[in-house]
Structure 1
Amino acid sequence: MLARRRYCWRWAVHLLTALIALGGAGEAAGGPPKPGGGNRPTVSVIDALGSGESAGFRRAYAPRTLHFPDDHGPHPDFRTEWWYFTGNLVGGDGRRFGFQLTFFRFALAPQQTPPAETSSAEQRASAWGTRQVYMAHFALTDVAGEHFQAAERFSRDALGLAGAQAKPFRVWLEDWRAQGDVSGPGALELTARTEDMGIELTLQGGKPLVLHGERGLSRKSAEPGNASYYYSRTRLPAAGRVWVGGRAYEVTGEAWLDREWGTSTLGAEQAGWDWFALQLSDGRELMFYQLRRKGGGVDPMSAGTLVSTDGSARGLNA
């Protein structure tokens, strides 16, 4: 399996559009969208993507003990976060498919008061109010049909439209969702549909959870705090159905889950990164991210992880 993702500032355009549609503001999205641009965002694009002002948010300075299932859920005290599923599937007739289903959380503003110390009325003056925006990407490749389709959605963490929770694990945006057992042998279910494509997959235990970097701390630049907490499930047996071209296919295959959260990730001279995930035929897995510099070339902080057949991991450097 080969999966690849590219992070760059063109994502900013999509996020800014979402914030306008959601009525986002520097404090929070406080009401339904108003006609005529009544709710105009005051948060900048770069700030929303995590490389601008980080005051009020926690940052990933040092390794910490990750606690599960709690850390499968959201971390609203950090600015950005994602649950990133990819996989390769094959039908009974040998037809091959690739999929991606990803949920992103973006904080519009820091949490002001611990939720336990604040009444629900004080936390939100409006039922539409939120400090969290979610974005989801769904993509499906039909290899034999030489056809790739992709869709995205945006919504707010309010009125049940989107959100995430740890116990029991669930992350969703409208009817796209992932739920179930993330770290154990139990099932993890993925569901996403559009008019033209869909998946209903069950992922089983597979190989154990892997921590990347320094016990889960993945440093992206030399500046302290430009890092994230990062773990993966690198090989999850998958089975279920795929819908494409007006047909349903029973499929099996293998999936990969990436989990990452942080506040300020890239340094001033970094433009983004390319991420690769490979499930090798000998039972090992390889993850590597290549950080790109604004002036061109590869940043020396680029790194990766090689996972052995027994689940043990070895860090790799550029």
Structure 2
Amino acid sequence: MKVKALLCAALLLAGCDKAPAPAQSFAGLGNDAADFAQVVPGKVFSFPDDHGPHDGFRIEWWYVTANLKDAQGNVFGVQWTLFRNALKPGPTQAGWHDSTVWLGHAAVTSATRHYAAERLARGGVGQAGAQAVPFNAWIDDWNFASRPGAASALADMQLKAGGAQFAYDLHLTSSRPLVLQGANGYSRKSDLGQASYYYSQPFFNASGSLSIDGKVYQVTGPAWLDREWSSQPLSASQTGWDWFSLHLDSGAQLMLFRVRQQDGAGYLTGTWIDPQGHAETLHNANIQLAPLATTAIEGRNMPTRWSLKIPGKQLDISPEAVNPNAWMNLSIPYWEGPVRFDGGVGYLEMTGY
């Protein structure tokens, strides 16, 4: 669900003064995008091509999170995201005629500290971009790329980013299949037809180095890649979302999100992924999700402990933030950080509060 800051960057580089008004949906993502390519059911995904950019669509992102530990049991979270936003429809052009904006977000979280950084770039001049073969997504010196000699795309990756007070360099590997979210990769975000194309690699194993305030840690743990692209993923009445990706100790994986609406209702859905990688869509009736506790952050009350039940899977857990103050104080602020619960770990993103 990583789209909010991308649109803000597009607005800034296009010379606008402020983000769209709330009536236009969160970060303007409910605005009409009829001139762009539309998300429709029935797409046949093609890999490795779909790992690369999709120029006809308005917005797109490559998003990695990792739940990490060192040998002493210290817990960390890592986030890396690259966003692509087309300022106008049509094919990509060369050089400064390119109308694409790129935005990078990176963060590191521990139990006591949370640092985030942001990079902005204009397309067409090599400062940022993405390609399918060999896979590479980058902005400045932040990079997510296939390692030389990798057997297949996304099987053997290197992930690097850093800011003034943190850095990380991680090796990600997986031999497991990709997971198509929603209905064979068609992920609905409302009952009105808004949707994205969405797939994940939830089975990455990560290892490498991480530094905070000059101290270096050797870390390992599970990681998760999300890939989405769309042109109008929200409706005008939707105000933000709560998104979870969870690694269960059983070997199963769980993705779910709730898109909140102005009338207090929400669109709730998810995907249950068994240890073999088989995916099952979860609908609103299958999921019970409610906040249990909040944390006051920057004048907002953010839900940082939740009750999550999926009776059909005998799941009853209470994910809570490793660090409740994992506030991304960037061009458009939001909450993003690692969570833990009896039986696993994961990540939580909350926008629009």
Which TM class, normalised by the smaller chain length?
0.7 to 0.9
In the other structure, the counterpart of 1:201 is: 170
Asked if 1:223 corresponds to 2:192, the answer is yes
Asked if 1:269 corresponds to 2:248, the answer is no
Inter-CA distance 168–43: structure 2 relative to 1 (3 Å threshold): farther
**TM-score, scaled relative to structure 1:** 0.80
In the other structure, the counterpart of 1:156 is: 122
State the 1:230 CA deviation: 0.5
In the other structure, the counterpart of 2:214 is: 246
Inter-CA distance 49–162: structure 2 relative to 1 (3 Å threshold): farther
Partner Cα distance (1:62, 1:185) in 2: 25
C-alpha distance after superposition, 1:260-289 (max 9, x if no partner): 111111123222221101100111011001
Asked if 1:214 corresponds to 2:193, the answer is no
More strand by share: 2
Inter-CA distance 108–43: structure 2 relative to 1 (3 Å threshold): farther
State the 1:248 CA deviation: 1.3
In the other structure, the counterpart of 1:189 is: 158
Q: Which runs of 5+ in 2 are unaligned?
A: 285-353
Secondary structure of 1:128 counterpart? helix
1:60 pairs with 27, 39, 45, which one? 39
Count of matched residue pairs: 277
C-alpha distance after superposition, 1:141-173 (max 9, x if no partner): 122xx1111111111112111111111111111
Maintained 8 Å contact 1:18/1:154: no
Identity %: 40
Partner Cα distance (2:16, 2:237) in 1: 27
Partner Cα distance (1:183, 1:54) in 2: 35
Inter-CA distance 164–93: structure 2 relative to 1 (3 Å threshold): same
Q: Which amino acid aligns with 2:189?
A: K
Inter-CA distance 43–223: structure 2 relative to 1 (3 Å threshold): farther
Give the alignment's Cα RMSD to 1 decimal. Answer: 2.4
Q: Which runs of 5+ in 1 are unaligned?
A: 25-39, 116-122
Asked if 1:109 corresponds to 2:85, the answer is no
Inter-CA distance 256–176: structure 2 relative to 1 (3 Å threshold): same
Choose 46-55 or 236-245, whichever is displaced more: 46-55
Residues 1-318 of structure 1: pairs in structure 2 closer than 5 A: 11=4, 15-16=7-8, 19-20=11-12, 22=13, 24=14, 40-41=15-16, 45=20, 49-111=28-90, 123-124=93-94, 127-143=95-111, 146-180=112-146, 186-224=155-193, 226-299=194-267, 302-318=268-284
**TM-score, scaled relative to structure 2:** 0.73
Maintained 8 Å contact 2:117/2:162: no
C-alpha distance after superposition, 1:73-115 (max 9, x if no partner): 011101111111001111122222111111111110011x5x6
